[in-house]
Amino acid sequence: MAHIQIQDLNKSFGDTSVLRGIDLSIHEGEFLAILGPSGCGKSTLLRIIAGLETHDSGHVRMGGSIMDGLAPKARDVAVVFQSYALYPHMTVAQNLALPLVMRETTRVQRLPFMGHISSVVKRKRVDIQSAVERAAAQVRIAELLDRKPAQLSGGQRQRVALARALIRKPKLFLLDEPLSNLDATLRASTRTEIVQLQKRLGTTAIYVTHDQTEAMTMADRIAIMIDGRVAQVGTAREIYDRPKDVHAALFVGTPKMNLFDGRIDGGVVRLAKTGMVLAHTADAIDGPIRVGIRPEHVVLKTEFDEGAIPVVETHREFLGSEALIHFGIGGGAPDISGVARLDPDALDKLAPGQTVSACFRPGGLHLFDQSGLRLELSGENLSPAATTALSDKETALDERPIPIIAGI
């Protein structure tokens, strides 16, 4: 259990700069997910924290002390690797025992037959044996101790890897996409199990993944990494509701946030293509911007209100609990496209190919400047079209039954 602090960490492989000034602080006992697309440097960051890779500059602190340059075994961390990295020639019990054997016995004590000669070694071996049994019981693999990894299923191997990590009660767990080799059902149940285990042990954990569902469901906080930088750190809610930059906004949420070109002219925020007025602001910043809106904040209606955009449905997806309508704006060959999330019942009220009106829910707008950073505007950050259109029909977000056609 430790408080981890990463300070201005840089790393490059040859000419490729992989990590550029990472600053990150992980509280004691926290479960932090590092979420990012492949190649963003998240695994390298994990390897640097583990001591498996050296960094060029910056510091890694663990519980106050600097870890830079220390060998992995001196850091008291445990890693669960993507491929599990179990020793294939050893039984499960031997796999679990190895970290303890290497740590608690000397080279001489590790020699064969020492258990018969020295009572100290004998006692240590008994202790290790009972630790192995305890760890195996914690992840429910007690009956597999005599098997070799090749005789185990993917899920069982994963448990062995977890047990090997927790057996010596490390200060920090590092998990590198540990669920990516499991099938969907197993992944969902293992997710909960890992979180419960981590909370029970109270050990700080860093979990690297490219899967936003894993990050959002498991972690206390998420660090979004893009191109070797931390784009945003926060709870799943914070990141989803107030993405700090356009990459974080696009990376979190399925389907992706809709992104349109917009501009601000004298305090009026408009869609660049149609000139539709989206919001008013008191801030005097003019120029092109990007406008983001999550699919559930797009409202489709059959009636046309003033200010609403006429859109044509191009494709629909029924997903059971929700439905997605892909739409295009701008006549025959739509050059702006977007997605709306609807109640599945609303699908019936909408004929395929029909032209409908789209407006945006209040508070659903995300504005980003040209460099991709979030713009926080003072004043009414509201879609006037949406306010007028919604005022009489729906006011609260959780009002599911909507008269005509509506989002969630």
Partner 1 sequence: MNARSPSSLASERPSPAPSAAGVLKAPPHLASTFIGWSFVLPFLVALSMFVLAPTAAVIAISFTDWQLGRDTISFVGLENYRALLTARVPRISAANTIIYALMVTPLSVILGLWLAILIESSPMGRAFFRSACFLPVVSTTVAMAIVWEFLLHPTLGPVNSALLLFGLPAQRFLSDAALVLPTLAFIAIWENAGYTMVLFVAGLKSISAELYDAAAVDGADRPWERFWTVTFPLLGPTMVFVVIIMLLRSFRVFETVATLTGGGPRRASEVMLYTIYQEGFQFFQIGYASAITVVFVAFLLLLTLVNFRLMDRSVHYK
Shorter beta-carbon distance to partner 1: residue 47 or 187: 47
Which amino acid is it at 193? E
By CB under 8 A, is residue 374 in contact with partner 1? no
User: DSSP 3-state assignment of 195?
Assistant: helix
Residues facing 336 on adjacent strands = 329
Shorter beta-carbon distance to partner 1: residue 127 or 241: 127
Residue 294 zone, left/alpha/beta (φ > 0; ψ -120 to 50; rest): beta
By CB under 8 A, is residue 108 in contact with partner 1? no
CA angle in degrees (0–180, nearest 5) for 299-302-305: 75
Count of positions on this chain that bind partner 1 (CB under 8 A) = 26
Residue of the chain from 56, 65, 87, 153 that contacts partner 1 (CB under 8 A): 87
Shorter beta-carbon distance to partner 1: residue 83 or 192: 83
Round to whole Å and give the CA distance between 6 and 65. Answer: 11
Cα pseudo-dihedral 103, 106, 111, 113, rounded to 10: -90
Min CB(208)–partner 1 separation in Å: 14
Round to whole Å and give the CA distance between 141 and 128. Answer: 17
Residue of the chain from 59, 73, 200, 315 that contacts partner 1 (CB under 8 A): 73
Min CB(43)–partner 1 separation in Å: 11
Min CB(63)–partner 1 separation in Å: 18
By CB under 8 A, is residue 47 in contact with partner 1? yes
By CB under 8 A, is residue 52 in contact with partner 1? yes
By CB under 8 A, is residue 83 in contact with partner 1? yes
Shorter beta-carbon distance to partner 1: residue 77 or 385: 77
Residue of the chain from 16, 27, 69, 102 that contacts partner 1 (CB under 8 A): 102
Which amino acid is it at 225? M
Residues from 164 through 203 that contact partner 1 (CB under 8 A): 164
By CB under 8 A, is residue 397 in contact with partner 1? no
Round to whole Å and give the CA distance between 62 and 358. Answer: 51
User: DSSP 3-state assignment of 169?
Assistant: coil
Residue of the chain from 3, 20, 147, 148 that contacts partner 1 (CB under 8 A): 148
Shorter beta-carbon distance to partner 1: residue 83 or 302: 83
By CB under 8 A, is residue 144 in contact with partner 1? no
Shorter beta-carbon distance to partner 1: residue 76 or 343: 76
Q: What is the DSSP string of 98-144?
A: HHHHHHHS-TTTTSTTHHHH-HHHHHHHHHHHHHHHHHHHHTT-GGG
Shorter beta-carbon distance to partner 1: residue 175 or 291: 175
By CB under 8 A, is residue 150 in contact with partner 1? yes
Enclosing H/E stretch for 59:
strand 57-62
Compute how many other C-beta atoms are within 10 angstroms of the C-beta atom of residue 249: 26
Backbone angles phi, psi at 50, to 5 degrees: -75, -20
Round to whole Å and give the CA distance between 225 and 234. Answer: 12
Question: Which residues bind to partner 1, rule: CB under 8 A?
Answer: 47, 50-52, 71-73, 77-79, 81-83, 85-90, 98-99, 102-103, 148, 150, 164
